[in-house]
């Protein structure tokens, strides 16, 4: 980490850095980048910024699209995936002015403002977030959509569907839904995951562990250490960049799609979180339910109250709702419980020490823009604390039972998550005031998000699905 421009330039001289690469986050949550020769990077750049077309990022209208980004040198790190020695850093988006003004639709700005708002309430001065990253690594993928064709095809050497292959088949295949913690030689991506984790550690992303996940055809998980909200949003982008590029470098392909395979486990991005004030945990109470304080339970109440609207940011793809179905350890019921993976909010039973006491939100997935998703979760939780939303009194639980085994009559009493992206957007349209407290989310940002996501869902829903031919072709 560099604190001054001189420290950064000294590193560039010592490491013979030739290029400086800047990465910005667009509205949807993808990194974009622009690169300049290292000699062109001056201290003046940190004040004036570098101009770019904001309309192509989904931010500004074409007629008023000139914007600048200003690099955050504290995020600078060596990029190991390029041949020319390159230092890469994240840029913050600004509206051109004298001085430049932070752009309120910049995802990173939203995350920064959410943390500032949290501190202004006096409730806590720190939130610590720990995401779990689930993803698939395949050996081959192709897809096509034309007026006369709609298809995709995926292959993974370790998948059980290759058990009858005749070319260089050594017989070790992972059964369908049977990959959890499987070992080599079936776990053919073990070394790749270790290399991914070593690269992440080099980039300042601390690793808790990695393992093979449930999905037989190459579903993997990397869990990272906790950090602040904006910090972990940055690190989420780094994780996705490293995972995808490390796989690509070894002639494999990685995806964070929630449901790339039919009838296999989907990939989520469970978010663990807890809060502190002056270094002391505020989520612990020896006598509370599952040793949670009233503050923690109110936070849970806020998240569950706004769960449907949150899905528009935490599960923002049409594919997200193919994962959020019963039977695959993905939550569908808006409730909370201890050690229960069928609930939206699970309280880990193993985290019992005061400084470890936390809960996880299980519905988010890797298609989210992490800056928006983490900020929205925090805003919902703060709303719950401010308004004393008791999740038990509101009927959200606790449900310390397998919710999938409840009778249909009892299941009807528990509210469910949206089943489509359109339903999540409907909920956000009706319920977004909590996001706008402290000017964290702007009404313009919410309006643009809903519009773009509705257009996306409408386009995808117009495409005939191959399965429809099986159901309807002969009718």
d(CA 83, CA 193): 22
Written as six digits, the tokens of 137 are 């690594």
Query: What burial class does residue 4 get, using C-beta atoms within 10 Å of its C-beta: 0-12 exposed, 13-18 middle, 19+ buried?
Result: exposed
CB under 8 A, 24+ apart: contacts of 442-449: 442/104, 442/105, 444/104, 444/105, 445/104, 445/105, 445/110, 448/27, 448/58, 448/105, 449/27, 449/312, 449/313, 449/372
CB neighbours of residue 8 within 10 Å: 23
Would you please indicate which residues are annotated as catalytic (active-site) residues? 53, 132, 134, 213, 221, 270, 341, 360, 362
Q: What angle do CA 328, 331, 334 make, to 5 degrees?
A: 160
């Amino acid at each position: 980490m560099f604190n001054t421009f001189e420290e950064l330039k000294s590193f560039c001289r010592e490491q013979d850095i030739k290029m400086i690469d800047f990465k910005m986050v667009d509205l949807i949550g993808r990194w974009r980048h622009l690169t300049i020769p290292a000699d062109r990077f001056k201290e003046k750049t940190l004040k004036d910024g570098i101009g770019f077309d904001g309309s192509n990022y989904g931010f500004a209208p074409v007629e008023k699209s000139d914007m600048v980004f200003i690099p955050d040198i504290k995020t600078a790190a060596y990029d190991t995936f390029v041949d020319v020695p390159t230092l890469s850093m994240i840029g913050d988006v600004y509206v051109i002015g004298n001085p430049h003004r932070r752009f309120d639709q910049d995802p990173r700005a939203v995350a920064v403002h959410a943390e500032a708002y949290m501190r202004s309430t006096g409730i806590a001065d720190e939130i610590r977030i720990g995401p779990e990253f689930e993803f698939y690594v395949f050996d081959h993928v192709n897809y096509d959509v034309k007026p006369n064709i709609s298809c995709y095809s995926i292959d993974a050497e370790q998948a059980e569907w290759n058990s009858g292959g005749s070319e260089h088949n050594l017989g070790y295949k992972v059964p369908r839904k049977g990959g959890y913690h499987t070992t080599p030689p079936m776990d053919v991506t073990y070394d790749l995951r270790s290399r991914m984790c070593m690269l992440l550690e080099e980039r300042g992303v601390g690793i808790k562990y990695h393992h093979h996940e449930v999905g037989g055809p190459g579903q993997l998980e990397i869990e990272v250490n906790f950090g602040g909200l904006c910090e972990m949003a940055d690190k989420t982008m780094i994780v996705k960049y490293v995972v995808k590029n490390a796989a690509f470098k070894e002639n494999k392909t990685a995806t964070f799609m929630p449901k790339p395979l039919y009838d296999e486990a989907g990939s989520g991005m469970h978010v663990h979180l807890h809060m502190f004030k002056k270094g002391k945990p505020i989520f612990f109470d020896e006598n509370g339910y599952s040793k949670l304080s009233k503050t923690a339970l109110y936070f849970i109440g806020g998240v569950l109250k706004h769960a449907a609207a949150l899905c528009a940011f935490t599960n923002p793809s049409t594919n997200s709702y193919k994962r959020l179905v019963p039977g695959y350890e993905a939550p569908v019921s808006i409730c909370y419980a201890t050690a229960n993976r069928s609930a939206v909010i699970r309280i880990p039973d193993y985290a019992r020490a005061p400084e470890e006491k936390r809960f996880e939100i299980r519905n988010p997935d890797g298609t989210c823009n992490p800056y928006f998703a983490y900020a929205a979760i925090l805003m919902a939780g703060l709303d719950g604390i401010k308004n004393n939303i008791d999740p038990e009194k509101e009927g959200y639980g606790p449900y310390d039972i397998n919710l999938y085994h409840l009778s249909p009559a009892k299941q009807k009493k528990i509210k469910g998550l949206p089943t489509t992206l359109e339903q999540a957007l409907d909920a956000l349209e009706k319920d977004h005031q909590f996001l706008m407290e402290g000017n964290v989310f702007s009404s313009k940002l919410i309006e643009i998000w809903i519009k773009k996501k509705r257009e996306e869902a409408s386009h995808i829903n117009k495409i005939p699905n191959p399965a429809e031919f099986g159901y309807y072709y002969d009718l």
